[in-house]
C-alpha cells in the first residue's frame, strides 16, 4: 500500500480535480462577491412581492444564488478536507459560512410571507405566470410546514443564530479531526509510534490479540481524557435539537427530523422493534466468534478481527476498480460507463495523507459532477468503500442529469440504497468468482460484519439517539454518566452476553460524529434493508426491478422518499423489508457456522 507523507507525493490521477469547479481562486472570489450582491437584491423583495411576476423574479434570483453558493461552499469544503490543517482553506470556509448566514437572513422573510399568502391566491399566480409552474410543487409543499414556521421577526432571529447553533457540531469536528492525538502503539520493529486512524483500522483487525488490545486502549484514551468536553458538546447538540423542535411546535425532536421526508414515527419505531425481535442470530454470531477465536472471553477489540486466519488479500486501487466494474455489470452499460468516467476524469481523491479528513463521502455538485473522498488502503474494506461511494456518486450524477436543479438533490433517506445495492452486488460477484474455500469464508465473514456495522450498529445508534433526546425532552440533564449508562445497556442488548466489557466500551458514544446530525443513522439501516431487497431481485434477473431501480436513481427528490421506494417494490411502512433483510442475515450466519 503506498504511504504518502504529503499530498504532493500522490500521483495526479489519484487526486480529485477541483478546477472543474473553479479554475482559479479569482473565479471563486468573483462568485463570492456576486452572491453578496444577489443577497442584497433578494432582501429588497421583502414587502415588495405583490403579484405573480415579482414572486417569479424572487424565486428565479434565489435559485441562481443557490446554484452559485453551492459551488462556492463546496469548493472550500473540499479544499479543507484535503488538509484540515491548512489555514488558508479554513479561512475560505469561514468566509463561506458567514456568507451562508447573510444569505439565510436575506431570505428569511420569504417563508412567513408565503404562508401568510392565501393558498388560492398563490394558485392564481401560478396560473397567470408561466415560469411559476417550475416552482409549483415546492411552493405548495411549503404549506405543509405552516404550523412550524414563525413570524417574520422570529424567523430572522433564528437565521442569525445559525452559526451559534452549529457550535457543538463544529467543536466536536475540531476535537475529532484536528486536536485528538491517539496514544502510542508498538510497530513491527518494537518501536513506539503514534497511532493514526488508518493504523487503528488495520490493527483492530490484526490476528495478534495483544496488538488489537494495545491499539484499542490507545484509540480510546484521548476520547476518555476528553469525556466531559465531548459530553458537553453532545449534550449541547441534543438540547439544540430539542429546543428548535419546541420553538417550531413539533411534538418531538424525532418528529421534527422525520417531517421533511414525510416519514411517520412508526417507521423509526418499527425498525428498532423488528431488529430487537430478530436479534438472536447476532448473538449467535458473537458465540461463533468466541469459539472460532478460541477465547475464554470475547472483548470489544475481538469484534472486528476476521475469523478466517491468514486471508487478507491485498487489493491495489487499480485492481479494486476493475473488480468493482465487473461486480456491478448487472446494472448495465450506461452505469459502468459512468464509473469509468469517475476514474478517468478525476472525480475521486484516493489516498490517505496527513491532515486529510478521515473516512469517505460523496458530494454531488449540480452543474459540475460528484466528488468522492476516499482514504484507500488497498484492502477488502477499501474495495467495498469504493463501490459504496461510487453508488452515491452515480445516484448524484443521474439525478443531476435527469432532474432540474429544484429536484436534483435526493433525500438522505434514500441515499444509502444506491451505495448498498452496489455492495451487495459486489459481494455476490466476489463469492461467485472465488474457488478458494478459505477466501470464500473470509468474504462471507466480511459480509456478515458489514451487515452488522451498517444495519445492527446503526439501529443501536438510532435507539441511543431516541433515548437521549427523550431524556432531554423531559428535562433530565445529560452528562458522561447518563451517556455511558445508555450506551453500555444498548451495547449489551445488541451484542449479547458473550462480550465481556472493558471500561472503554461504555464510552463508544464519544467518538460518533453522526450523533451531531440528529436522527440520521437510522437511514443507513432502512437503506440497507431496501438495498438487500432490490439487489436480490436484480440478481434473480428481474428486469422490472432493474428498470424501476435505474429510474429511481434518476428521480432525485421528485417525490417523497417512501413513495420513490414504493415504485421499486419496497414498502417501508410495513415491517416486511426489515424482516426480510434480517432473515437474510440469519441465513448468512447459518451458512457461515456450517462451513
Specify if 244 maps to a domain.
no
Q: pLDDT grade, residue 312 (50/70/90)?
A: confident
* 280 and 405 inside one domain: yes
Q: pLDDT grade, residue 152 (50/70/90)?
A: confident
**Residues 6+ away with beta carbon under 8 Å from 517:** 169
Say what the pLDDT of residue 223 is. Answer: 96
Q: How many CB atoms lie within 10 A of CB 278?
A: 18
Specify if 208 maps to a domain.
no
Q: Kindly report, residue by residue over 185-194, the tens digit of the pLDDT.
A: 998 888 899 9
Separation between Cα atoms, residue 520 and residue 461, nearest integer Å: 10
Specify if 220 maps to a domain.
no
Specify if 371 maps to a domain.
no
Tell me whether residue 389 is one of the annotated catalytic residues: yes
CATH code: domain of residue 483 = 1.10.1370.20
Separation between Cα atoms, residue 6 and residue 82, nearest integer Å: 11
- The one-character DSSP state at 452 is I
CATH code: domain of residue 56 = 1.20.140.70
Separation between Cα atoms, residue 289 and residue 276, nearest integer Å: 20
Q: Kindly report, residue by residue over 467-509, the tens digit of the pLDDT.
A: 999 999 999 999 999 999 999 999 999 999 999 999 999 999 9
* 446 and 298 inside one domain: yes
**Residues 6+ away with beta carbon under 8 Å from 365:** 21, 70, 71, 74, 371
What is the average pLDDT score of the chain? Answer: 94
Question: Which string of DSSP letters, residue by residue, matches 371-413?
Answer: EEEEEE-SSHHHHHHHHHHHHHHHHHHHHHHHS-HHHHSPPHH
Cβ atoms of residues 347 and 372 within 8 Å:
yes
**Residues 6+ away with beta carbon under 8 Å from 118:** none
Q: How many CA atoms lie within 13 A of 90 on its CB side?
A: 11
Q: Which of 351, 348, 359, 317 is nearest to 7 (CA)?
A: 351
Ramachandran sector of residue 359 (left: φ over 0; alpha: ψ -120 to 50; beta: rest) = left
% helix / strand / coil in the chain, to the nearest 5? 70, 5, 25
Catalytic residue from among 389, 423, 463, 473: 389
Return the C-alpha torsion angle 426, 427, 430, 433, nearest 10: -100
Q: Kindly report, residue by residue over 421-459, the tens digit of the pLDDT.
A: 999 999 999 999 988 888 889 899 989 998 999 899 999
Looking at the chain, the whole-number percentage of residues with pLDDT higher than 70 is 99
Cβ atoms of residues 172 and 233 within 8 Å:
yes
* 135 and 284 inside one domain: no
Q: Which of the residue ranges 78-87, 160-169, 187-196, 575-584 has the most confident prediction, judged by mean pLDDT? A: 78-87
Beta-strand relationship, 184-186 and 298-299: unpaired
* 318 and 460 inside one domain: yes
Statement: the pTM of the whole predicted model exceeds 0.75: yes
Cell of 129: 405566470
Beta-strand relationship, 298-299 and 499-500: parallel
Q: Kindly report, residue by residue over 259-276, the tens digit of the pLDDT.
A: 999 999 999 999 999 999
DSSP E strands, 14-60: none
* 279 and 154 inside one domain: no
* 299 and 423 inside one domain: yes
Specify if 145 maps to a domain.
yes
117, 142, 165 - which closes a domain: 165
- Average of pLDDT values for 331-343? 97
Kindly give the interhelix angle for 265-277 and 576-594, rounded to the nearest 10 degrees.
30
Say what the pLDDT of residue 155 is. Answer: 84
pLDDT at 544 over 90: yes
* 277 and 148 inside one domain: no
Helix (H, G, I), strand (E, B) or coil at 251: coil
Separation between Cα atoms, residue 536 and residue 404, nearest integer Å: 31
* 288 and 158 inside one domain: no
Cβ atoms of residues 321 and 383 within 8 Å:
no
* 156 and 272 inside one domain: no
143, 165, 187 - which closes a domain: 165
Q: pLDDT grade, residue 595 (50/70/90)?
A: confident
Specify if 254 maps to a domain.
no
Say what the pLDDT of residue 372 is. Answer: 98
pLDDT at 1 over 70: no
Specify if 491 maps to a domain.
yes
Say what the pLDDT of residue 238 is. Answer: 97
Cell of 328: 456491478
Cell of 512: 460518533
Separation between Cα atoms, residue 276 and residue 332, nearest integer Å: 37
Say what the pLDDT of residue 162 is. Answer: 83
Specify if 31 maps to a domain.
yes
99, 130, 165 - which closes a domain: 165
Phi, psi at residue 125, to the nearest 5°?
-55, -45
Cell of 396: 448524484
Could you give the number of structural domains in the chain?
A: 2
CA distances (Å), origin 119, targets 107, 143, 529: 20, 8, 39
Provide the domain limits for residue 432. Answer: 267-345+379-595
* 338 and 485 inside one domain: yes
Q: pLDDT grade, residue 156 (50/70/90)?
A: confident
Cβ atoms of residues 357 and 177 within 8 Å:
yes
Amino acid at each position: 500500500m503506498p504511504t504518502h507523507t504529503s499530498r504532493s507525493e500522490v500521483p495526479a490521477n489519484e487526486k480529485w480535480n477541483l478546477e472543474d469547479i473553479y479554475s482559479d481562486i479569482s473565479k471563486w472570489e468573483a462568485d463570492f462577491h456576486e452572491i453578496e450582491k444577489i443577497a442584497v437584491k433578494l432582501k429588497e423583495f421583502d414587502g415588495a412581492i405583490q403579484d405573480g411576476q415579482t414572486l417569479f423574479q424572487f424565486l428565479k434570483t434565489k435559485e441562481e444564488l443557490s446554484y452559485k453558493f453551492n459551488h462556492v461552499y463546496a469548493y472550500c469544503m473540499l479544499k479543507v478536507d484535503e488538509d484540515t490543517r491548512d489555514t488558508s482553506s479554513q479561512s475560505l470556509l469561514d468566509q463561506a459560512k458567514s456568507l451562508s448566514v447573510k444569505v439565510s437572513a436575506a431570505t428569511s422573510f420569504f417563508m412567513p410571507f408565503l404562508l401568510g399568502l392565501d393558498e388560492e391566491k398563490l394558485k392564481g399566480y401560478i396560473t397567470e405566470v408561466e415560469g411559476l409552474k417550475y416552482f409549483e410543487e415546492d411552493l405548495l409543499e411549503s404549506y405543509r410546514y405552516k404550523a412550524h414556521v414563525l413570524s417574520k421577526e422570529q424567523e430572522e432571529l433564528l437565521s442569525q443564530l445559525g452559526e451559534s447553533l452549529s457550535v457543538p457540531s463544529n467543536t466536536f469536528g475540531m476535537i475529532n479531526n484536528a486536536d485528538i492525538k491517539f496514544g502510542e502503539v508498538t510497530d513491527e520493529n518494537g518501536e513506539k509510534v503514534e497511532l493514526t486512524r488508518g493504523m487503528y483500522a488495520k490493527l483492530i483487525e490484526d490476528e495478534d490479540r495483544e496488538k488489537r488490545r494495545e491499539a484499542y486502549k490507545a484509540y480510546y484514551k484521548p476520547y476518555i481524557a476528553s469525556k466531559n468536553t465531548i459530553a458537553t458538546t453532545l449534550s449541547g447538540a441534543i438540547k439544540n435539537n430539542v429546543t428548535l423542535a419546541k420553538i417550531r411546535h413539533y411534538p418531538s425532536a424525532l418528529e421534527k427530523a422525520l417531517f421533511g421526508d414525510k416519514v411517520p414515527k412508526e417507521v423509526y419505531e418499527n425498525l428498532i422493534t423488528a431488529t430487537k425481535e430478530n436479534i438472536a442470530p447476532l448473538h449467535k454470531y458473537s458465540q461463533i466468534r468466541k469459539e472460532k477465536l478460541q477465547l475464554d472471553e470475547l472483548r470489544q477489540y475481538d469484534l472486528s478481527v476476521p475469523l478466517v486466519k491468514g486471508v487478507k488479500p491485498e487489493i491495489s486501487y487499480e485492481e479494486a476498480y476493475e473488480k468493482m466494474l465487473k461486480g456491478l455489470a448487472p446494472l448495465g452499460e450506461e452505469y459502468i460507463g459512468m464509473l469509468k468516467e469517475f476514474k478517468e476524469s478525476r472525480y475521486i481523491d484516493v489516498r490517505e495523507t496527513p491532515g486529510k479528513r478521515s473516512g469517505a463521502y460523496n458530494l454531488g455538485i449540480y452543474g459540475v459532477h460528484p466528488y468522492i473522498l476516499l482514504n484507500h488502503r488497498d484492502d477488502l474494506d477499501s474495495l467495498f468503500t469504493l463501490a459504496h461511494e461510487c453508488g452515491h456518486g452515480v445516484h448524484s450524477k443521474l439525478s443531476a442529469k435527469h432532474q432540474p436543479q429544484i429536484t436534483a438533490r435526493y433525500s438522505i433517506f434514500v441515499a444509502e440504497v444506491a451505495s448498498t445495492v452496489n455492495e451487495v452486488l459486489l459481494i455476490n460477484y466476489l463469492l461467485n468468482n472465488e474457488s478458494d474455500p478459505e477466501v470464500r469464508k473470509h468474504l462471507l465473514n466480511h459480509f456478515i460484519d458489514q451487515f452488522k456495522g451498517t444495519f445492527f450498529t446503526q439501529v443501536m445508534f438510532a435507539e441511543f439517539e431516541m433515548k437521549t433526546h427523550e431524556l432531554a425532552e423531559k428535562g433530565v440533564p445529560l452528562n458522561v454518566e447518563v451517556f455511558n449508562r445508555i450506551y453500555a445497556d444498548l451495547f449489551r442488548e445488541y451484542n449479547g452476553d458473550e462480550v465481556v466489557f472493558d471500561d472503554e466500551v461504555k464510552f463508544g458514544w464519544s467518538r460518533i460524529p453522526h450523533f451531531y446530525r440528529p436522527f440520521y443513522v437510522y437511514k443507513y439501516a432502512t437503506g440497507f434493508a431496501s438495498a438487500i431487497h432490490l439487489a436480490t431481485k436484480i440478481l434473480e434477473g428481474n428486469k422490472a426491478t432493474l428498470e424501476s431501480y435505474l429510474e429511481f436513481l434518476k428521480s432525485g427528490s421528485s417525490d417523497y422518499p417512501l413513495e420513490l421506494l414504493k415504485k421499486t417494490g419496497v414498502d417501508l411502512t410495513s415491517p416486511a423489508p426489515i424482516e426480510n433483510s434480517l432473515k437474510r442475515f440469519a441465513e448468512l450466519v447459518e451458512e457461515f457456522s456450517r462451513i
